[in-house]
Structure 1
């Protein structure tokens, strides 16, 4: 069977305008794995409340980070895809979970090149309902509906793969070597606490009580919280960072709903008031810089930290299209192409 690769990232509006942001947000927020409530209630929340005001606010945020070529996430994803494709002798396509350049379009592109067996690569290091899982489910739905003859194999979450940890650590070190920090904050994308419990195959292990993530369990295969903390721990060990100068937090939450804690914006204030005035922030839940990293963390985060008493602040970019990150992905894809082997994720 002829093999091919489909890289999938989050997606983006076509432009930083309310007109284009609204349908993008509609598709994103109406996803049952993003806002996982009764469909009637979700429709009321999203279309009756959020979409009445959010598009204008989000468009303003997008306009702050928009590049001349277009959406940073799309441009960076395309650059990454081109670099990966240049080092492989099988077709490589790019799809987005939401917005233009869909997963279906990516599968069609591969089919047009005669691909029969697709290696699906969700560009998310960690497993979460609202990121990794929704990509896999959507890809399977589109395959079954439009390309039933295709075979689909999915790359596992790679948050603990040694090659990924090394390249992530190298990227972080390059910035820390030039910045006199007194604290490093690993800020991960936030999700509702109920998503952790819903993803727990045992239905009893995940208690979000500070101990379950440290107790070995099959639940860790799909526990976003555990995987985030494990990423931080692995980087600490790889770089030999002092533990009293490193912590983890979670950003981006909706009101009136318990999300993973501690909250990043609260941490900005706490750290500054505790005298940690030189802060480096890394956002490892993403491999490509996007609105959440470039506007929420690099811009708003810096402002919040400085207002709380901070003096120095850097946001360490995502891996984006770094050549060493491209090399890691290419090595995984070549191994799959030659042996059907999947990258190893070390669950602890």
Structure 2
């Protein structure tokens, strides 16, 4: 059977204009795994409130970071795909969970090339309902409806794979060489606390009480919070970081329900007020720089830090199309191609 690979990232509006941003946000926020409310409540919230207020503000944010070539996330993802394709003999397609570069189009592209067996590769190191799960669920629905002849497997979360941790750690180390910093903040995209409990396969382990993420459990396979803290721990260990010189936080909360804490903006503010003059920040929930890293962190975060007396604010890029990251993903893909499917 001819094999092919479908890389899947988050997505982006087609342009930074309010009408395109509104269309994109509508698809994104109406996903039941992003805003996991009953459909009537989700519709009321998204179409009745959010889409009447947020698109203009989000469009301004996108305009700040938009590149001449287009959306940074799309451009970077395309560069990653092209580089991987040079190291992989099988067809490598690219899709987005939201927006015009749909998963259906990506699967069709592979099928048109004679592919019968697909490796679905969500470009997220950690598992989450609103990232990995929504991709795999939609891809399977599309396969059943439009491509029933396809065989498909997906790459599970790779947050704790030693070769990934090594690539991430080396990238952080290289970017910090010659730069002065007192604290390294690992900022991950936030999710509502209820997402953590919903993903708990044991239905009892995840208490979000500061200890459950450190206590061994089957729940960790699908616990986003545990996996984020584990990346921080493993990278800190790899780089030999001293306790107290690095920490974890969560960004991009929405609405009034409890989200994972501590919040990134408040953590940046607190560190500055405590006298930290030089800090660095890395965003390991993303493999590609996007609105959340380029605007929310690199612009808004730096502004917060300077307002409270901070001096130097170093933003570490995502892995993007870094050669070591390209080699890592290509090696994983080639291992899959040369073996029977063993991913889950």
TM score, norm. by length of structure 1: 0.98
Deviation string, structure 1 residues 287-325 (Cα, Å, up to 9, x no partner) = 000000000000000001110111110110000000110
Task: Report the counterpart of residue 317 of structure 1 in structure 2.
Answer: 317
Task: Report the counterpart of residue 66 of structure 1 in structure 2.
Answer: 66
Runs of 4+ with deviation above 3 angstroms? 341-344
Alpha carbons 1:191, 1:259 under 8 Å: kept = yes
**1:191 maps to 2:206:** no
- What's the offset of the Cα at 1:343? 7.2
SS of the residue 2:152 aligns to: strand
Distance in 2, matches of 1:178 and 1:64, equals 28
Q: Which runs of 5+ in 2 are unaligned?
A: none
- What's the offset of the Cα at 1:342? 4.8
Task: Report the counterpart of residue 108 of structure 2 in structure 1.
Answer: 108
Deviation string, structure 1 residues 218-257 (Cα, Å, up to 9, x no partner) = 0000000000000000001111111210000000101311
Task: Report the counterpart of residue 288 of structure 2 in structure 1.
Answer: 288
Distance in 2, matches of 1:2 and 1:91, equals 9
Task: Report the counterpart of residue 96 of structure 1 in structure 2.
Answer: 96
Task: Report the counterpart of residue 26 of structure 2 in structure 1.
Answer: 26
Distance in 2, matches of 1:321 and 1:98, equals 21
Alpha carbons 2:153, 2:341 under 8 Å: kept = no
Task: Report the counterpart of residue 177 of structure 1 in structure 2.
Answer: 177
Q: Which runs of 5+ in 1 are unaligned?
A: none
Task: Report the counterpart of residue 227 of structure 2 in structure 1.
Answer: 227
Task: Report the counterpart of residue 137 of structure 2 in structure 1.
Answer: 137
Alpha carbons 2:153, 2:343 under 8 Å: kept = no
Distance in 2, matches of 1:316 and 1:261, equals 21
- What's the offset of the Cα at 1:340? 2.8
Deviation string, structure 1 residues 71-90 (Cα, Å, up to 9, x no partner) = 00000000000000111110
Aligned-pair Cα RMSD in Å = 1.0
TM score, norm. by length of structure 2: 0.99
